[in-house]
Structure 1
Amino acid sequence: MTAFKVAIVGGSIAGLTLANLLDRLGIDFIVLEAYDKIAPQVGASIGWHPNGLRILDQIGCYEDMRASAAPAETMTARTSDGRVLYSHQLSKWVKERHGYEVLFMERRVALEILFKHLPSKDKVITSRRVIRAEQLVDKVRLYTKDGSQYEADVVIGADGIHSTLRREIWKMAADADPSFVSEVESKAMKTEYGCIFGLSSPTGNLKATEVHLTHKKDVTIACMVGPKNIPYWFLFFKLPQTHGGVDLPRYSREDEIALASQEAETCINSSVKFKQLYDNVSFSTTTALPHHVFSKWHFGRIILIGDSAHKFNPISGQGGNSAIESAAALVDNLAMALRQNNAIIPGKYGTFDDLDKVVSARKFENHDQLMKNFDHIPVLGSSMSYLIAVYFPGTESWDIGFWLMTFYLSISELVVFATWTVESCRARNRAALSRGSIVFGSISNITAIAFGCCFYYLQDNLSASSDNKWWASSMLVPPEKAAAVLPATLLGMLLPTLLMFNIWLPSDLRQYLTIAWMFSPWYLYLLHKYFTRYYSAPSAFKTVSAARTESIAQLRQLYIVLGLITGITHVLTVSYCVLSSDETISLGRIFLLRYFEGMSIYEGDHMMFLWDMYITVASLAVWSILSTWSMSRAGVIHVNMFLVFFVISVGSILIGPAAITSMCCLWRETQNTSNNLKEKEA
């Protein structure tokens, strides 16, 4: 399947926000920008409000925006002669009510920050002015001024009020469906005001964080003082008559000077007049200000957002905020549609391409945490880097839902590895594949536990299908080996897991602990060998029954302890999800095999681990059921298999699949087989 691709026309506030959102969802994209660089000086300032900052915060841009901006702490309105109409605090109350303040900053700097935080900067191509679009059967082809051509599944126009793509939509609609866009649509946009907007060097006693509004008939002057006391100002003026259509009035430099001179004596504050601002101007331009929402903003596979779809008078300060809200709403719905149609969305670190980016950059996206470099380690160095990229985000507290799920899976694995170790010691498995627990364990930790579980438990059930496999001598685990499993599991598996997931330890250290955890099957194997020797008693003759009685006592302790550990983990995890006030923390979002809105910012990784967990759980359940059925068929026990299935199903819900498997193992080991022996004891 070809990866779904989005083409964004315009590296504007809306376009770069859209690119950041798509990149974080793992949706392929390209940005075609008409200018020869990102963040050209073509606008004066931009104001951020809580509705926009909330989205910027989600893509990691808020802190940089905040550091480069000035909050609008006080707003004062005056008449043209300087008389105060009202003055009040702004950002304080807005932040108290909405969580974010009101900020003002240079538009160029805002674009630079959006580009800085874009992971896939190579997908932004400058000097590519789109001049034509063509709808194909299942694609859109874009033609640029330099002769290049680009194709994408969806094209999104973020190319402003003079949108080329909007013009192309109207042209296509006129040819394909004249009723789709009425003849008056291009004339529906009304323009009643114009504006000189600019920025000046520090002027008079205008100080950062101040907002000044001056009102007079048909004119409003707004001056927001930003960082370093730089005034960002707007002179709004009413047009002699309302203008209709998208061909807006143009203003020359002479027009601007004439308009500015009319307001030269208008007061900005008690001591600064507009002529002082204009004398100190660093950049200014004059433009008409349409105020309109187009009734048709999409056609076929082309969609418009931002000013190309809805252009608002900047006096409200909501133009940029509305543009990024449109981008977020569009991406949310696009991602949902792709999921519902089973399109491939790789997610944060869920594909090799994304892993390559993380490993190459040596940095986890949206976080300052750097990846440790293991390339100097012979043979395993490169593999270690990829393992860190996959596993480490799940052990961090960046996304508590992802952390809970990966921790839950890792604790559940204790039962898996312990049962493998036990089965490798049974007399019946001397020549079986079950003997190679270390091989299965190593493969599972390097790839996925699901692979090892499927194959291991399948072959174990097949090898134990004959009746003689259930004889007491065949089932025997030497007492010293049985005793060694519990301490080996606790030290070799549980301890590395707890250290790896300990979010209070430094992140750098836990990257090394994550690598150390990868070798836990070997710790388990070697510690089991050590404790077997430790528990070995002087050679003494024991009957099969005596040895089995002693072994069962040790295994009973093993399965009770593991059942308690995994059961408590299950109950606490479920309880936390049910009781948590965080709407992103729920059983559905964390543990169900489907995409939930806001499930995890590491969606690809999250889903990968979910499949791993569910396949592992299914393997454990099937193994427990088939083992019980084999014992019943061999005449060792007599049970109702429907009851067994019911108990395992309900138990998995109440105490967790790992805990119920541990209890099944305990029950199976402790069944009285003395009446069913088909052998003679020595």
Structure 2
Amino acid sequence: MTRTVLVVGGGIAGNALTVLLRRAGFAVDLVELREDWNSTTGSGITLQGNALRVLRKVGVLDLVLRDGFAFDELSLLSPDGTVVAVQSSGRVGGDDLPATVGMQRPRLQQILIDAVRASGAFVRLGRTVTAFEQDTDSVRVTFDDGTTGRYDLVVGADGVQSGVRRLIGIDCLPEPTGMAIWRAPVPRPAGVEHTHMVYGGGCFIAGCCPTGEDTAYAYLVERNRDRSAVEPAAYHQEMRRLAESYGGPWPEIQRSLTDPALINYTWFERLLLDGPWHRGRVVLAGDAAHACPPTLAQGAAMSLEDVLVLTELLAAEEVWDDGLFTRYRDRRYPRVREIVDGSVQLGQWLLDGVRDADVPGLMGRTAAMLRELP
């Protein structure tokens, strides 16, 4: 009999997992709280080679390469816009994949949504789960409309504020790291053919990454502050103010910041479950189990690796038990821990004003680890 899996959460991790599980021959239901399926959320995303490696397994790599912007370099600029160095970025996903693809996040989400639809999975939008009842072989799930279902496995891929994590009694919440980021989609500035990044100036980091032939996303990283300090209606004005001290592509970016609804302000947070990532037959994946600041641009990649590893184990093992779910966690934890700790460390060095930080060493160790298969 075909095994059944419920995936809770229709973001990058949940969508990719749904497609991978369907390809492995499982029956999959996906439930997503937002009725719009997160299809308009976010500005841009940076996908390094290890993320692209998983997206190839999902079957969407060609579309990602077509609609994104691939590059193999990174420019470091001084605050006035002078190019200080152009660095080659390692192809951690393999020589046949670009080092990095910048992409509009809503476009990536739509590609994954289309893949889920094409997979034959059953999708429920505007719904979530409210309770689990487990026995040794299955999980009885209650949804927020009062309906129920029974599954061989439930996977919580519902983000850093995971409701599934709370329902199974794992008491772990994300912690702020002391930094915050302003993000906005913008027209691609002239001459920006890869990520342009500034350390210092009015903010800790000012960056711009191309996401398409005509698009990019810009971001400014500062010390976090009270989220109510700036009204959302004035987000564009605040981001323009923070951008004033930068040259290079930033005057062009600044002029494009006119719509506050397109600008996102969030705190950097850290989350890492040190104990088991499951309770019975309910398992966590992606940001529900670990999350980190975007300083290494590996958040989505770690989530994608999670769901690939989980699918491989589920497809290979006849018995789905504590041993399997523990092997999944144990296989992922060391790699995820390195990324979470490294991402937080990069930010802490900036917060502390450490001038002799071993950034090259950290980046080199990270790249070497990511070249290995998860």
Secondary structure at 1:143 match in 2: strand
| 1:240 CA displacement | 5.3
Residue 71 of structure 1 and its aligned partner are, at CA, apart by 0.9
Give the whole-Å Cα distance in 1 for the aligned partners of 2:103 and 2:27.
30
Deviations 1:366-398 (A, max 9, x none): xxxxxxxxxxxxxxxxxxxxxxxxxxxxxxxxx
Q: How many residues align?
A: 317
Q: Deviations over 1:403-459 (max 9, x none)?
A: xxxxxxxxxxxxxxxxxxxxxxxxxxxxxxxxxxxxxxxxxxxxxxxxxxxxxxxxx
The equivalent residue for 1:231 is 216
Change (3 A) 1:268 1:20: farther
Who is 1:24 aligned against? 23
**Aligned twin of 2:105:** 107
Note if contact 2:189-2:252 (Cα within 8 Å) is conserved in structure 1.
Answer: no
Deviation digits for residues 7-41 of structure 1 (CA, Å, limit 9, x no counterpart): 10011110111111111110121111112243521
- Counterparts of 1:184-583 in structure 2, within 5 Å, are 186=172, 189-200=175-186, 202=187, 204-207=189-192, 209-216=193-200, 219-239=204-224, 252-253=231-232, 256-257=235-236, 259-267=238-246, 269=248, 272=251, 274-279=253-258, 283-296=262-275, 297-338=277-318
Q: Report deviation, 1:73.
A: 4.3
**Could you tell me which of 91, 95, 107 is aligned with 1:94?**
91
CA distance in 2, matches of 1:340, 1:8: 16
When residues 134 and 289 of structure 1 are mapped into structure 2, their CA distance, relative to the original with a 3 A threshold, is farther
SS across alignment from 1:17: helix
Per-residue deviation at 1:249? 8.7
Q: Larger % of strand: which?
A: 2
Contact 2:176 2:267 in 1 (8 A): no
**C-alpha offsets along residues 136-189 of structure 1, whole Å, 9 cap, x if unaligned?**
45322333333332221211011111110111122xxxxxxxxxx6xxx53673
What is the CA distance between 1:203 and its match in structure 2? 5.6
The letter for the 2-side match of 1:139 is S
Segments of structure 2 that go 5 or more residues without pairing to the other structure are 322-374
Relative distance call for 1:338 and 1:15 in structure 2 (3 A) is same
**Which residue number corresponds to residue 360 of structure 2?**
none
1:300-347: CA deviation from partner (whole Å, max 9, x where unpaired): 111111111110212322111111100011111122222699xxxxxx
- TM-score normalised to structure 1 length: 0.43
Larger-Rg structure: 1
Deviations 1:221-248 (A, max 9, x none): 221122132121222222259xxxxxx9
Is the contact between residue 80 and residue 248 of structure 2 (CA under 8 Å) also seen in structure 1? no
The structure, 1 or 2, with the larger RCO (C-alpha pairs under 8 Å, 6+ apart) is 2
Q: Please list, as runs of the form range in 1=range in 2, the aligned pairs for 1:12-161 lying within 5 A after superposition.
A: 12-90=11-89, 94=91, 98-101=95-98, 102-118=100-116, 119-161=118-160
Give the aligned residue type for 1:214.
Answer: V
* Alignment partners' CA distance in 1, 2:247 and 2:298: 22
- 8 A contact 2:195–2:207 mirrored in 1: yes
Q: Partners of 1:128 and 1:136 in 2: how far apart?
A: 24
Q: What SS does the corresponding residue of 2:251 show, helix, strand or coil?
A: coil
Distance 1:39 1:121, change over 3 A: farther
Deviation at 1:259, TM superposition (A): 4.3
C-alpha contact 1:199 1:281 (8 A) present in aligned 2: no
* 1:265–1:273 Cα contact (<8 Å) kept: no
CA contact (8 A) 2:22 2:121 kept: no
**1:72, 1:224 within 8 Å by CA — same for their partners in 2?**
no
Distance (whole Å) between structure 1 residues aligned to residue 204 and residue 233 of structure 2 = 19
Kept in 1, the 8 Å contact 2:235–2:260? The answer is no
Q: TM-score, normalised by structure 2?
A: 0.75
Conservation of the 8 A alpha-carbon contact between 1:11 and 1:38:
yes
Q: Would the aligned equivalents of 1:206 and 1:231 in 2 still touch at CA under 8 Å?
A: no
The 3-state SS of whatever aligns with 1:85 is strand
Q: Given the superposition, is the C-alpha separation of residues 98 and 268 from structure 1 closer, same or farther in structure 2, using an over 3 Å criterion?
A: farther
Q: Secondary structure at the match of 2:317?
A: helix
